[in-house]
Amino acid sequence: MQTTFAGRTEEAITWSEFLDVFNDTFFPILVQQVKREQFRTLQQGNSSVLEYQMRFMALSRYAPYVVSNNNMMVEYFIRGLRVELQDAIVPLMCKTVEEAAQRAATLERSIRTRQVGESGSGSFRLPHQSVGASKGKAPAGPSSSGFGKWGQKLKQAFKGKGRGWGGRQQFQ
């Protein structure tokens, strides 16, 4: 007795053909479309690189035409990383998703360690500056521009130039 599938013998069908017929039969088109859209719009957000990688790999199987080769897979993976990780990973020319994920995870740990070390508690704080006013000028503390000490240095550098930010004339 010869086994047939979709009108063909088992020797004549490939795995991808089997999956296509199986998915069409048992996996509703609407669900497939939703999964493809989830993959297409997947972003790391607040999740760790590992969590993002696991979600990426799980959803990637629903969009095989999008990630038909390894380079496309890596490109889509990097595109979904947080921007600070993307900027550091792109120039490294990773060859696999695993390599990109490992480098991104290492960078992510480094960023977290540096942030914790700088703030002492893991949250961002402005550097402490004395707050005191002198002769009608703005307080010496963090400037109203939000740039603190650097904002003051920039203002000093442009003082007397007659132009403000963006090259617009300042009136006093």
Find all residues with CB under 8 Å of 137, minimum gap 6, and list them.
none
Q: Quote the CA–CA distance of 164 and 148 in Å, as a whole number.
A: 17
The total number of structural domains that make up the chain: 1
Q: What is the average per-residue pLDDT within 74-80?
A: 95
**Is residue 64 one of the residues assigned to a domain?**
yes
Mean of pLDDT values over 158-165: 44
Contacts of residue 31, Cβ cutoff 8 Å, sequence gap at least 6: none
Q: Could you give the percent of the chain with pLDDT greater than 70?
A: 63
Residue 32 CA, distance from chain mean position: 25
CA distance 94 to 103: 9
Better-scored residue on pLDDT, 64 or 159: 64
pLDDT for residue 130 is more than 70: no
Instruction: Give the confidence band of 117 by pLDDT, cuts at 50, 70, 90.
Output: confident
Query: Does residue 159 form part of some domain?
Result: no
Q: Over 70: is that where the pLDDT of 85 sits?
A: yes
Q: What is the DSSP secondary-structure string of 39-50?
A: HHT---TTS-HH
Contacts (Cβ under 8 Å, ≥6 apart) of 13: 5, 6
| pTM, rounded to two decimals | 0.57
Give residue 166's pLDDT.
Answer: 42
Residue of higher predicted confidence among 28 and 6: 28
Q: 65 lies in a domain?
A: yes
Q: How many residues does the chain have?
A: 172
Domain interval for residue 109: 13-116
Inside any domain, residue 134: no
Q: Quick check: is 148 in a domain?
A: no
The pLDDT assigned to 50 comes to 96
Q: Is residue 2 part of a domain?
A: no
pLDDT digits (tens, 9 = 90+) for 43-59: 999 999 999 999 999 99
Domain membership flag for residue 56: yes
Which residues, 6 or more positions from 60, have their beta carbon under 8 angstroms from its beta carbon? 39, 67, 73, 76
- Work out the mean pLDDT of the chain and round it to a whole number: 75
Tell me whether residue 42 is in a domain: yes
For residue 19, the model assigns a pLDDT of 79
Q: Which residues contact 141 (CB under 8 A, 6 or more apart)?
A: 129, 130, 131, 132, 148
Euclidean distance between CA atoms 3 and 69, whole angstroms? 32
